[in-house]
């Protein structure tokens, strides 16, 4: 998935429901904060809040890990308490492992981000998603401030994600709900050439059939139409380009020459 991040400015998503605010509570490593900013911007999520970052703020390690998502870090707001970080938000999800012993609805990532889209559908409601510190996750006092919790359904025998991976999966799941960057499910990449016309493919078939006739390929008259049909079907199924047709003409001509030379 190599690629170059050309944008030095935050690219806010266009025509999307309002993206959720991402709240990191007590993150330990600056590197992880930077990677979270990168993961957010990958998904068009730009508003970051950080509660009591362990190593202070600003943090140079965050900048170098952000791979260019600097504007997300520059605009990040720092808070002393979780309650302050959430005070203007109307609907907040807390990411947790299961069974935290606190009475609260647990949504899957997909169902949780759908709620955020629904909350934003009527009006631009400020929503947020909270993530806890790397080692311990959110404390129950933080979870009590959320409307519900969100859990990513992963392999239960191996479900631990690092912080930036959790942010990436949740933000991408949010994005996938209504992705403005998605075009068609499938696109044809034509590499500067065009699909061959039917006539060009038929012309190639004629070339091939002539050569095969000359070479005595058709042992019986009954076989011939079936073989031709199968080859034609293969050519059309493959979606031959004009260039493919020219190449195959060249190949048939070359092979015929070879056979003729061998036969001499």
Kindly identify the residues of this chain, within the stretch 132-151, that bind a copy of itself according to CB under 8 A. 132-137, 148-149
Please tell me whether residue 242 binds a copy of itself under the rule CB under 8 A.
no
Smallest gap from Cβ 8 to a copy of itself, in A, equals: 10
Contacting residue, 18, 61, 78, 106, with a copy of itself by CB under 8 A = 106
**What is the side-by-side strand order in the sheet with 48-51?**
77-79, 48-51, 21-25, 127-131, 91-95, 148-151
Residues between 199 and 218 with contacts to a copy of itself, criterion CB under 8 A: none
Distance CA 259, CA 264 (A): 9
Q: With contacts defined by CB under 8 A, name the span among 49-57, 94-102, 199-207, 214-222 that binds a copy of itself.
A: 94-102
Binding a copy of itself (rule: CB under 8 A), the pick from 185, 198, 222, 261 is: 185
Closest CA to 240 of 203, 186, 185: 203
Which range, of 97-105, 201-209, 219-227, 229-237, touches a copy of itself by CB under 8 A? 97-105
Whole-angstrom distance, CA of residue 90 vs CA of residue 175: 20
Number of residues engaging a copy of itself in binding (CB under 8 A): 79
Instruction: Note whether 56 binds a copy of itself by CB under 8 A.
Output: no
Alpha-carbon distance 78 to 231, whole Å? 66
166: which residues sit within 8 A by CB, 6+ positions away? 95, 131, 152
Residue closer to a copy of itself (CB basis): 54 or 229: 54
């Amino acid at each position: 998935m190599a690629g170059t991040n050309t944008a030095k400015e935050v690219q806010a998503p266009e025509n999307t429901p309002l993206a959720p605010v991402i709240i990191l509570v007590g993150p330990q490593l600056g590197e992880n904060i930077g990677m979270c900013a990168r993961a957010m911007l990958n998904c068009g999520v730009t508003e970051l809040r950080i509660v009591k970052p362990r190593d202070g703020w600003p943090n140079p390690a965050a900048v170098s890990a952000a791979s260019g998502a600097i504007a997300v870090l520059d605009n990040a707001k720092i808070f002393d308490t979780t309650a302050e970080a959430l005070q203007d938000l109307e609907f907040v999800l807390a990411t947790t492992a299961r069974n935290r012993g606190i009475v609260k609805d647990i949504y899957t990532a997909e169902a949780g981000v759908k709620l955020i889209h629904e909350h934003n559908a009527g009006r631009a409601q400020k929503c947020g998603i909270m993530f806890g510190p790397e080692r311990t996750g959110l404390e129950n006092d933080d979870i009590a401030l959320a409307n519900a919790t969100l859990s990513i359904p992963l392999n239960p025998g191996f479900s631990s994600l690092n912080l930036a991976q959790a942010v990436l999966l949740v933000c991408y799941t949010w994005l996938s709900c209504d992705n403005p960057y998605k075009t068609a499910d499938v696109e044809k990449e034509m590499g500067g050439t065009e699909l061959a016309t039917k006539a060009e493919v038929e012309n190639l078939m004629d070339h091939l059939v002539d050569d095969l006739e000359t070479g005595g390929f058709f042992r019986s008259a009954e076989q011939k139409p079936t073989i031709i049909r199968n080859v034609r079907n293969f050519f059309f199924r493959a979606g031959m380009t004009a260039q493919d047709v020219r190449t195959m003409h060249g190949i048939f001509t070359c092979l015929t020459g070879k056979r003729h030379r061998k036969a001499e």
